[in-house]
Structure 1
Amino acid sequence: MIELDYDEILSRLENELNAKCAISNKYGIILGSVIKELSKDKIIPQNILELISNRQGIANALKLDKITSFALEAKENNYLFTFSEDFILVSKLGLDVNLAKFMPSIRLFLKSLSAKLKKTERIDFSPFDFSKELNQIKESLEKEKINNEKYSIVKTLIKHMSK
């Protein structure tokens, strides 16, 4: 997997969208964060991860195709959890932020981040010549066969003497 500079990405987000954010992988391990409650290399709390992982069940219950984000309103802030196939983006926003205007921007950002990851993750394979490997295997089998034949007399002699 490639290395992205998550701290740089988060500082750009903070400057452009005026939002404190944290990025985690799909398993909930936080890759970068400017939110003090969700520090880097920690794990998103289990009950939040369960809610995120059960989003398809929630979507089915509400007769929706899919759910792409959850918003939680707290006493002083809104927390917006936006997810893609590869990432979970947590945004900590003031109560005065219009979520209807903010959510499309953050969704587009997460989509482009996932596309960037997939684009740079492509691996080019070079052709491999198996003939060398096969020759080495043949040689080792021949050596083993010779050793077995060599020592079979000794083995037979030891078996005979031990009786």
Structure 2
Amino acid sequence: MTTHARRPPGRTPLKEVLLTTAAALAGLLSLAAVAALTGLGLFALPFVASAVLVATAPGVAFARPRSVLLGHLSASALALAVTSVTGPSVWTAAVAAALSTAPMLLLRAAHPPAAATAALIGLTAPSPLYLVTPVLAACVVVIAGGALLGRFLPGRPPAAGFAPRSRGQTPSP
């Protein structure tokens, strides 16, 4: 039996590191600015993770606008339902986060930070309005930020849209 050691990826060129860091900074500053101006809880950790994912890996399926929006909304709705039955606890958070993967996969809109949103809901039991603010509001800011980054930063792909990627389809370069 022959095993092949995988080589670590090559170094990322400095220009790409700087561009990606600038994209992440722009996305997070946008999220922070809207949160500061509106007083909404948009700078919660799951939304920060979404903004960084969209800024640093815009070509992956997890960062597509559809995945961000449907992932967070479906995970949040499920977590609100679970939490309304069981009450907030670390156990509810774990169950809600794990179960949130099902609707995301069924919708073909997987977005890992959305599982963190489900866990946060399981821990805190917010009102159902949490779906609108901060979840929907944060999704809009993150998606808009990704679209702007794709439009104005050189070498960044534009937002990929809302259609689900068909099986076997790979992102275009």
Q: TM-score range by the shorter chain?
A: 0.3 to 0.5
Higher normalized strand content (fraction of residues): 1
TM-score w.r.t. the length of structure 2 is: 0.32
TM-score by length of structure 1 reads: 0.33
Q: Which has the higher contact order (CA 8 A, sep 6+)?
A: 2
Which has the larger Rg? 1
Structure with bigger helix share is 2
